[in-house]
Structure 1
């Protein structure tokens, strides 16, 4: 096989892996903060180089670049606008850990949104469905998102349960799918 075919095979395998991971709830944690900009750039560059080197019209290279770059810029703007942050600090004794994705929105009151990802190695994470937390602070002051969640005060109840002492009550996060989420007490 030629170099171009190997590049297309690599690109196809990478894209299939990312799509399958997305539909099964898994994520590559190092790509999550960038909004998958790196795979998008790789797709645009590799396809453009292959078309440019092939016997196809150079117009196709221009079409891909002039449509791909604005899409990439728009996607980058959306990722920047969403302003998601990530923390990996909650670790249990058996080496399980949580990656916490958080963001906030302020309009008179501040709403904090938290999503959790279970990981053992810090590379691949599994989104914990139905474990998200939303905390609304009405006093109008901006509070540190880690402080609202109670990071640093969390407690591992069992090997699969983490308890957070949020500003609005206690929230248990279950790493095992067999547990049901509970409302704040």
Structure 2
């Protein structure tokens, strides 16, 4: 269903059950003038199915997208971690890869690390993370002068890193005479 023309020459299209408009070039919607009967849905037009329940979400020109999509009903399905501030299963996200739960981040400023930019302080962010279809992890993001770097750790790995950090911090403090700055 075409909702209307846009000022940029594109149109907003709503597929059945998605509920969110998809912006496309009108030429992508127009059937090519090749004499093929577009009323025959099996002839270069395919049904777009929900990856969970199989319901037809819409009919599009072939080929099908390579990413799974969900109908509106399945997108509302629960699946958030208990610590996710969204808590709604991320139903507004069309693609599974975008259905990620981040918990509250804890930020530690790195005071002896040079600034990554004007008015910025280098830091490490730590939060719980659940990627769609993956297991929960401890997410680390280091923002420093050479850019940002992130990684996922299992809970066991995070505990091992924490224990090593405490051990090395103790060695450094002992060498400095107990200075905890």
**TM-score bucket (shorter structure):** under 0.3
Greater Cα radius of gyration, structure 1 or 2: 2
Structure-1-length-normalised TM-score: 0.25
TM-score, length basis structure 2: 0.25
